[in-house]
Structure 1
Amino acid sequence: MVKALNCPNCAAVFNPSDKSCEYCRSYIITTDSKQFTYDLNEFKPSYKKIFFHKIEMGNNELPICSGIANIYYSATKSDGGRLLLTNQRLIFCAHALNMNPNLYWEISLKDVDRVENDLNLFISQRIKVFYRKGNETTFVVYGGKTWIAEIEYAFNQY
């Protein structure tokens, strides 16, 4: 884990173990976990903004879970990064070691038709996100069944 980072809101140095910036009171989520589910009671109304790494959450948007993921193109091509599920959208950000380190993908939950689980090499699992407009995107994740359950929960809750 990094010992100090800069706040994506005000650029002040903060310690990730503090979880919030002491200067602007933004809540900054940083985790290297393979998969992590957030306790929504942890997000206090006093936090001015909530960030997942450098992605700012919208009004009334809260993170539900995040984890290591690859956006899957084919058996020989994918980009690694992190997948984040909020109560409003699903977001993928590539990490800096990719050929395409600036890759950013997101979809509003309103635009998702369904998600399906698919086995991938017995260790991780693929989840397929089907859009209402007919497209689809596939991710390789740890705990695919958990991801499916969390996404379905987000559909029904929000």
Structure 2
Amino acid sequence: MVKALNCPNCAATFNTKDSVCEYCGSYIITSESKQNNYSLNEFKPTYKKIFFHQIEMWEDERPIRSGVANLYYSATRSDGGQLLLTNKRLIFCAHALNINPNLYWEINISDVDRTEMGLNLLISQRVNIYNKKNLKAVFVVYGGKRWISEIDNVLR
């Protein structure tokens, strides 16, 4: 795990064990845990910006859940990284160990048509996300039922 990085807002050295940049006050989500839920109480009005990896949240956007995930293409191909659900978007960022480490995927919540559980693989599960054109993205995550529940709550 990375011990330090630069703040995406002000470029100051940022310790990944912290959640707020001591120089500019930005909140930076860097968790590598299997899954995290966020409380709106975590994001105080003093935080100037909120970042997930290098991605800046919109002004009225708040993180709800994040965790490790694989963007699944086939039985022999997937990209690993982090998945983030906010009140506005679902965002996937690949980690640096992939062949394509700059992979980025997102969908606005308003463009999600439906979600459903896919194949259960012991402790990990596939979550299918369909857009309004019936195109499907598949993620392998821990706690798939919880992901579906959280996404469906945001859709309502």
Which band: TM-score by shorter chain?
A: over 0.9
How many Å apart are 1:18 and its aligned residue?
Answer: 2.6
Equivalenced residues, count: 156
How many Å apart are 1:3 and its aligned residue?
Answer: 2.8
Alignment deviations for residues 61-99 of structure 1 (CA, whole Å, 9 cap, x no partner): 000000110001011111111100000000001111111
Alpha-carbon distance between aligned partners in 1 of 2:96 and 2:5, rounded to the nearest angstrom: 16
Please report the TM-score for the alignment, with normalisation by the length of structure 1: 0.95
Please report the TM-score for the alignment, with normalisation by the length of structure 2: 0.96
Structure 2 residue matching 1:17: 3-state secondary structure:
coil
Alpha-carbon distance between aligned partners in 2 of 1:77 and 1:120, rounded to the nearest angstrom: 17
Aligned CA-pair RMSD: 1.1
Alpha-carbon distance between aligned partners in 2 of 1:21 and 1:128, rounded to the nearest angstrom: 35
Q: Between the two proteins, what is the percent identity of the paired residues?
A: 69
**Residue 151 (structure 2) pairs with residue 151 (structure 1):** yes
Structure 2 residue matching 1:129: 3-state secondary structure:
strand
Give the AA of the match of 1:28: I
Alpha-carbon distance between aligned partners in 2 of 1:94 and 1:2, rounded to the nearest angstrom: 15
Give the AA of the match of 1:4: A
Alignment deviations for residues 109-129 of structure 1 (CA, whole Å, 9 cap, x no partner): 000000001223222100000
Structure 1 residue matching 2:17: 3-state secondary structure:
helix
How many Å apart are 1:21 and its aligned residue?
Answer: 1.0
Residue 120 of structure 1 contacts residue 140 of structure 1 at CA under 8 Å; is this kept in 2? no
Unaligned stretches of 5+ residues in structure 2: none
Aligned to 2:59: 59
**Residue 97 (structure 2) pairs with residue 97 (structure 1):** yes
Unaligned stretches of 5+ residues in structure 1: none
